[in-house]
Chain A
Amino acid sequence: MTARSLTARGPAAFSPIAQRQTSGTTRLGAGGKGATVTLRGLSKSFGVKPVLKNVDLHIPAGQFVAVVGKSGCGKSTLLRTILGLEAPTAGDVRVADAAPNVQAARIMFQEPRLLPWARVIDNVVVGVRNKSDKSAARAAAQNALDAAQNALDEVGLGDRGGDWPSALSGGQKQRVALARALVSHPRLLALDEPLGALDALTRIEMQGLVERIWREQGFTAVLVTHDVSEALALADRVVLVEDGAIALDLAVDLPRPRRRGSPELARLEGIILDQLFRTGDRVAAEAPADALQEAYA
């Protein structure tokens, strides 16, 4: 169905990414670790206001997809619907897992949303799925702590487990939130503008961290962002949502790790920004300069 949505939009320049395999050379044992996400005719309205209109999207296992768009375009709603935090008004969402019964999708929010009354390590334990029976409770609790410690080590905060969240900086809190999302080894990680509130340098550092962990663990990632350069730095594929529909579906077939400011990234960014600001209003002729700034902001 991606083929259908692509043909609807026409431009031959965009390869049918759905079929494209993510570059396996850099992925360590990525095979079968991610979930496949399929949206068919997905619509969502709040009251009479339609937010998503008949969206078709197929995300193959292990792909890193960035969803960009102006605020209010429906990109966050799309993500929340994929995760089941919102029920679709029409159409369906299928998250198919390579390994059944381990249905594990995790979300990172714009805010860290750590429990202020739980130590850092206990906040990470929140992400552990424990479906253990009573007799094994003690061992399970120890396993959960070990897993949480590993996840904290992974995000470089292994020594902060005993601190209260209020003692951490904004970037560190978001790293704890990342550890909490990753501790259960999810098949699908949804990122709802998780880096939006961080300062520019911390953000670049976090992008590198997210990319590294994604490459190691091979989960499917869906990143919602308003930052086009961030989308291009991280994603295999950029989906542009406009007015509740997919306006552009662009493959980013560049080697990783990507160099910021490379001509190829700039070209792709130009395509996306053109699409973002051309449609709709005529005044947009002079918009790209502002747009670029906004996108970098």
Chain B
Amino acid sequence: MRFDSKNLLAFVIPVGLILVWQALSSLGQLAPEVLPAPTAVVAAGWRLALSGELWTNIGISAWRAGVGFVIGGGIGFALGLANGLSKLSERLTDPTIQMVRTIPHLAMIPLVILWFGIDETAKVFLVALGVSFPIYLNTLHGVRTVDAQLVEMGRAYGMTNRELFFRVVLPGALPSIFVGLRYALGIMWLTLIVAETISASSGLGYMAMNAREFMLVDVVVLSILIYALLGKLADTIARWLERATLSWHPAYLAH
């Protein structure tokens, strides 16, 4: 990625906000128990990083997010492909999926705690549940809207079903699948943070809630900033993947 003045433009507002925040704190306009200064947050981060607590919690949260995402995304992707390609499969499963989809998955938290307690399974389950629907919907939409003329061309040119899938259907559905992927990444963090905040004994959400009990506002703010960074990181990875695989797309040709 090139770093010219256009890229720097994106940093103007965040950097400006931090400077104002620091200035207000230094001038005593912001009470440290309401919002500690950026320097205090950095100090808290340094402290927790040195003790290793920060890395343990980030690690456990990332693990939960990743495993849940792979399971839920895999299920949503598989169902989306199956229902996009097979009318039979669609008639069988789509109405049920659409019905279950309308339940806010976080409403399942009480039930999930009863089923799995507060251990790893509960969080992974919730993340998987939340992530599967956007991936399912967008994969299905992508497969459905593949250009029928290209499919006909593929058949006329003697492609087998397998070739047709890998050379025509899947690449054609990819832009839509990526929309689902990026949407799902947002839901992944949201679900995890809520689940960890309500019931956990480790992870970033737990770290924030624990800090609140001890009035460690700097740690609470630190946790929130780390969420933001992790979310941004996931989105950047998705964008990068998108660019790498959709380089043929006119929307990405400029890069």
Contacts and interface: CB of A to CB of B under 8 A. Distances in A.
Q: Is chain B's binding surface mostly helix, strand, loop or mixed?
A: helix
Contact of A115 (B156, B158, B167): B167
Contacts of B225: none
A85 B249 CA distance: 30
23 contacts: A107-B156, A113-B149, A113-B153, A115-B150, A115-B167, A115-B168, A115-B171, A116-B248, A116-B249, A117-B172, A117-B174, A117-B246, A117-B249, A118-B167, A118-B248, A126-B159, A127-B157, A164-B248, A164-B253, A165-B248, A166-B248, A166-B250, A167-B253
A277 interface: no
A83 B158 CA distance: 12
A164 B250 CA distance: 9
Contacts of B174: 117
Interface size range of chain B in the complex = 20 to 34
Contacts of A115: 150, 167-168, 171
A165 B253 CA distance: 12
A107, A117, A126, A129: residue with the most chain B Cβ atoms closer than 10 Å: A117
Contacts of B249: 116-117
Interface in B134-176: 149-150, 152-159, 167-168, 171-172, 174
Interface residues of A, number: 19
B153 A109 contact: yes
Contacts of B247: 164
Interface of A: 83, 85, 106-107, 109, 111, 113, 115-118, 126-127, 129, 164-167, 180
Nearest to A107: B156
A178 to B, nearest CB: 13
Contacts of A126: 154, 157, 159, 167
B59 to A, nearest CB: 37
Nearest to B155: A85
Given A109-B149, A113-B149, A115-B168, A129 B248 contact: no
Contacts of B149: 109, 111, 113
A190 to B, nearest CB: 9
Contacts of B152: 85, 113
A167 B248 CA distance: 10
The 8 closest A-B CB pairs, nearest first, are: A117-B171, A113-B153, A117-B248, A164-B248, A166-B250, A107-B156, A113-B149, A116-B248
Contacts of A113: 149-150, 152-153
A131 to B, nearest CB: 10
A111 B174 CA distance: 22
Nearest to B150: A113
Most buried by A among B156, B167, B250: B156
Contacts of A111: 149
A116 B159 CA distance: 17
B42 to A, nearest CB: 45
A109 to B, nearest CB: 7
Nearest to A116: B248
A191 to B, nearest CB: 13
A166 B150 contact: no
A166 B167 CA distance: 17
Most chain A Cβ neighbours within 10 Å, of B149, B153, B249:
B153
